[in-house]
Structure 1
Amino acid sequence: MLGLVAVAGVPSAGASPASSVAQALAPFGCANPANRHSSSLLPAVTRLSGSSATCFGQAVTAEGELGPKLTKGPTGLGPAQIQSAYKLSGLKSGGRTVGIVDAYDDPKAESDLAAYRKAYGLAPCTTANGCFRKVNQSGAASPLPSGDYGWAEEISLDLDAVSSACPDCHILLVEASTPSTDALTAGVDTAVRLGASAVSNSYGSAEDSTILAADSHFNHPGVAITASSGDDGYGVSWPASSQYVTGVGGTTLTKSGNTRGWNETVWSGAGSGCSAYEPKPAWQHDSGCAKRTVADVAAVADPASGLGVYDTYNSCGSSSFCDQLISYGLVQGLDGWATVGGTSLSSPLIASVYALAGNAVTYGSYPYAHTGSLNDVTSGSNGSCGGSYLCTGKPGYDGPTGLGTPNGTGAF
């Protein structure tokens, strides 16, 4: 079976959508510098997850340092900007549930979510009021998996992304015991069984011959299953390539003086391309791939224009120097606010738009019949493919952004 890899994101240096200025980056999430430079760490903070899986993401470093840049207050894009960019302002889901599937436990998931929502004036989403629920991959409240600082960053990103796009959505967090195919796909089945209208999967791995057998866990007609296309540029990852999901690519989102008020281009890190195994769905008609093409749609993913995320689960303990240790790359996790991106952001955003729309959908087909309700992304590239649509933003369908980004909920 595949050893799956989380597709996590990155902090930005500014409080507003940034330009594409080159910035120093360091591994983020499970691939925090604390994992990469263990020989130079303090003995107390060399803990690894015990799994062969790794997370891709990157972090804009504090100036001259190895670790993520932290801020004391909200940074990056917030709910108002996400809703403005995608015409979601004022829309309600009626309390539909978005399922989030990740590995390991984030012991501070609920309290960090509460801090995020309070900072932006959003209504509480708690276990007590029935808005938030955390379960293991079997659907039970206990026992939960062991905690993991890197996956906790991923969880915080996912929960905050749902809150930003769909403040009235209920959130079901399913924590798989490990980042293995069996555990994570069991989590998808559980999220559907427990009533999620849409399920987001912010992880991926290279395709191999086992994926078609594992696909059955994403085969849930009527429920929107989204999956991140990847953060390594041109190339395909699974489950984004599954015939049963909406593969979600990524864009760079910036303020603009145009009628929309925003502009989007292909994010250079977004994954795309032709599957080597998955059959082409009947609703996908591009001519450059005999099999499944990634992606279907997209949303903001560039770390430079990422979401402000609040996370405080880290390996610093009670150290008064925690922020410094994080910025030096000596410990794992975050201790406050950071701007986070990657297609780990775009997948839960699209899942939230599906929940706002409220339609029973069949795999990724719905946007293909409603292209007029999408923002077409026509410029930028995520790699080298001879200039074809598979890695280059073009009018109409292209690999990195699919059919485009949400323009309200009409395409979902």
Structure 2
Amino acid sequence: MRSTTPHTPSDGSISRSTNSPSIRVRWRRVGSAAIAATALVLAGLGTAVQATAAPATTNATAAAKSSTGKVTWTRACATPAKGRMACKALRVTGGTTAFQKAEAKADGVTPKAADASTPSGYGPSDLQDAYGLTSAASSKGSGETIAIVDAYDDPNAEADLAKYRSYYGLSSCTTANGCFKKVGQTGSTTSLPTADSGWAEEISLDLDMASATCPNCDILLVEAKSSSMANLGTAVNRAVTLGAKFVSNSYGGGESSSDSSYDTSYFKHPGVAITVSAGDSGYGAEYPAASQYVTAVGGTALSSGSSSRGWSEQVWSTSSTEGTGSGCSAYDTKPSWQTDTGCAKRAIADVSAVADPATGVSVYDSYGVTAGWYTFGGTSASAPIIAGVYALAGTPSTSSYPAKFPYTAAGTSALNDVTSGSNGTCTTSYLCTAGSGYDGPTGLGTPEGLSAFTG
């Protein structure tokens, strides 16, 4: 019998809210449907669970001033063994998020209590509003399948997804109604990998973000048996074989001379939009974000504002070693649609979306932690968000490479150009510092509707 004992000890963040009509009014533009909150706060809570399998070692914890304020978080997944991929989910454990600050400002109540009963981060209507998706999310996506590729098993994936979707008033997405399917990398629904609590958090984040941006899409979860590139790549191929035209990958690792062969073996799928997290370690290229065949997704800090858009964004950066990834690949060929001159090879990123833990998203998770709501950040959030945008935009043509699509819309109102912030120091400034037009940390910008993601 497959063990369901969580892999790593975890600590969590929790939040609390109470009903308030004034908050419902305040958040009509930027608030999540079904959230009426006055007092929200994050606090740590501890659980100690014995690991079973040991694909990795220790979790890293960050406590630093982010782009928008001081929050603390922990990396969901344990540090991977050499040659393995790391998941990019960051779980907030303390501090006050931008969502909480806005709620407190709206009703004048300082967050001070904590439980896990309600969210403390952005929900579906926030993300849809921020990225011009509100109308599309309600009317498009039916018949499309977003595949989520991760390592190891989350035994509670379907149940946790049901909690998220129910809370936010999204339609049911279950195995029974054909909307949700979970398989291993072989395609089996019963022969699944060893369970791992860190990767289970990643899975919950990915499933929830795909749901947030494309509520009408079907979801296919493909679980690789380990976090090696070979197994994760096999899972990507399985997702495509099973019919997914949109595949989200929230993991990455160091580049290697094998990357060009990985490109053709796992990521060269014409007619399929493949999104990959750009990384959470600041300036520096990672793989598979460096693949010429994928959309590399960077991260921003997203805050509500007084502009006509109603939101503002800047580069997500905590320090020179923590923040969205960017840079020049050492191995991967530059795709024909990239025309920046600072990288002879592939430049990262292409587009971006919210990733700063201080402006994080709400996620429901129960495996290896106290069951409840948590706030997450990292480019693990931005990759499935962008996969959902591609899915709303419709099935790509069979011969196309959807990573090209945003470049045809560069400089137009189809993208929100992010022009402030930096993720480190580099000799070619646009690769680590935001500015008008293309830059490394945020690429061409963030979505403003669907036209930049339509072939």
Pairwise TM-score range, normalised by the shorter structure: 0.7 to 0.9
Give 1:262's match in structure 2, choosing from 308, 311, 320. 311
Partner of 1:406: 447
% identical aligned pairs: 56
What is the CA-CA distance between 1:210 and the residue it aligns to? 1.1
Give 2:405's match in structure 1, choosing from 338, 362, 366. 366
Whether the aligned pair in 2 keeps the contact of 1:153 and 1:311 (CA below 8 Å) is: yes
Tell me how far apart the structure 1 counterparts of residues 295 and 189 of structure 2 sit (CA, whole Å): 28
What is the CA-CA distance between 1:139 and the residue it aligns to? 1.3
Partner of 2:420: 379
Partner of 1:355: 391
Mapping of 1:135-284 within 5 angstroms? Answer: 135-216=183-264, 217-268=266-317, 269-284=323-338
Cα–Cα, structure 1 residues 358 and 160, in superposed 2: closer, same or farther, change >3 Å? same
Tell me how far apart the structure 2 counterparts of residues 70 and 383 of structure 1 sit (CA, whole Å): 36
* TM-score, normalised via structure 2 length: 0.76
Cα–Cα, structure 1 residues 62 and 407, in superposed 2: closer, same or farther, change >3 Å? closer
Cα–Cα, structure 1 residues 57 and 89, in superposed 2: closer, same or farther, change >3 Å? closer
2:451 partner SS:
coil
Whether the aligned pair in 2 keeps the contact of 1:30 and 1:55 (CA below 8 Å) is: yes
- 1:77 paired with 2:122, answer yes
Letter in 2 for 1:107: P
Cα–Cα, structure 1 residues 214 and 57, in superposed 2: closer, same or farther, change >3 Å? same
Partner of 1:45: none
Where structure 2 has 5 or more consecutive residues not aligned to the other structure, the ranges are 1-11, 16-38, 42-65, 96-113, 318-322
Tell me how far apart the structure 1 counterparts of residues 420 and 13 of structure 2 sit (CA, whole Å): 24
What is the CA-CA distance between 1:24 and the residue it aligns to? 3.2
Tell me how far apart the structure 2 counterparts of residues 376 and 140 of structure 1 sit (CA, whole Å): 42
Whether the aligned pair in 1 keeps the contact of 2:117 and 2:372 (CA below 8 Å) is: yes
Letter in 1 for 2:364: Y
Whether the aligned pair in 2 keeps the contact of 1:308 and 1:338 (CA below 8 Å) is: yes
Tell me how far apart the structure 1 counterparts of residues 92 and 261 of structure 2 sit (CA, whole Å): 38
Cα–Cα, structure 1 residues 127 and 82, in superposed 2: closer, same or farther, change >3 Å? same
Whether the aligned pair in 1 keeps the contact of 2:85 and 2:228 (CA below 8 Å) is: yes
Tell me how far apart the structure 2 counterparts of residues 183 and 272 of structure 1 sit (CA, whole Å): 25
2:298 partner SS:
strand
Tell me how far apart the structure 2 counterparts of residues 340 and 386 of structure 1 sit (CA, whole Å): 32
Cα–Cα, structure 1 residues 301 and 276, in superposed 2: closer, same or farther, change >3 Å? same
- Say which structure is richer in strand: 2
Tell me how far apart the structure 2 counterparts of residues 51 and 103 of structure 1 sit (CA, whole Å): 14
* TM-score, normalised via structure 1 length: 0.84
Cα–Cα, structure 1 residues 366 and 103, in superposed 2: closer, same or farther, change >3 Å? same
- 1:108 paired with 2:152, answer no
Give 1:29's match in structure 2, choosing from 44, 68, 76. 76
2:300 partner SS:
strand
Tell me how far apart the structure 1 counterparts of residues 246 and 85 of structure 2 sit (CA, whole Å): 25
What is the CA-CA distance between 1:111 and the residue it aligns to? 0.4
Tell me how far apart the structure 1 counterparts of residues 183 and 40 of structure 2 sit (CA, whole Å): 33
Larger RCO, structures 1/2 (Cα 8 Å, 6+ apart): 1
Mapping of 1:249-328 within 5 angstroms? Answer: 249-268=298-317, 269-314=323-368
Partner of 2:25: none
Tell me how far apart the structure 2 counterparts of residues 343 and 405 of structure 1 sit (CA, whole Å): 13
